[in-house]
Amino acid sequence: MVHAPEIDGLSSMQKEYLLAMAQDDGPSATAEIAKRLDRDIHYANVYRTQLIKEDVIYSPAWGQVDFKLPYMRDYLREHGAYHFLHSGTE
């Protein structure tokens, strides 16, 4: 009920960024996310910045990001494919 509305308004690339983060059990290294997305770090940082402004993720330490909403990682692991496939933007 809380997680789906948070994700629904995001672009497909923002969702892809979150899915890349969900592979980690804790904070994600931004360089590793870029690698998983098969993009350079500057491209990935555009979406990192957007997601921070949207208040979906935050930076707990330099070069790292984590989910702001509790249990978002678990939700994406379980429902991420659905949200990605039903993305209507970008």
Residue 88 lies in a domain: no
The answer to whether the CB of 65 falls within 8 A of the CB of 58 is yes
Domain CATH number, residue 54:
1.10.10.10
Residue 40 lies in a domain: yes
Residue 45 lies in a domain: yes
Among candidate residues 77, 67, 69, the one with its CA nearest the CA of residue 27: 67
- Predicted local distance difference test score (pLDDT) of residue 78: 87
List pLDDT tens digits, range 23-80: 999 999 999 999 999 999 999 999 999 999 999 999 999 999 999 999 999 999 888 6
- Predicted local distance difference test score (pLDDT) of residue 83: 57
Residue 84 scores a pLDDT above 70: no
> What is the span of the domain harbouring residue 62?
12-80
For the four alpha carbons of 36, 81, 25 and 12, in that order, the dihedral sign comes to positive
**Looking at the 3D structure of the chain, how many domains does it have?**
1
Given the DSSP bridges, would you call strands 28-29 and 64-67 parallel, antiparallel or unpaired?
Answer: antiparallel
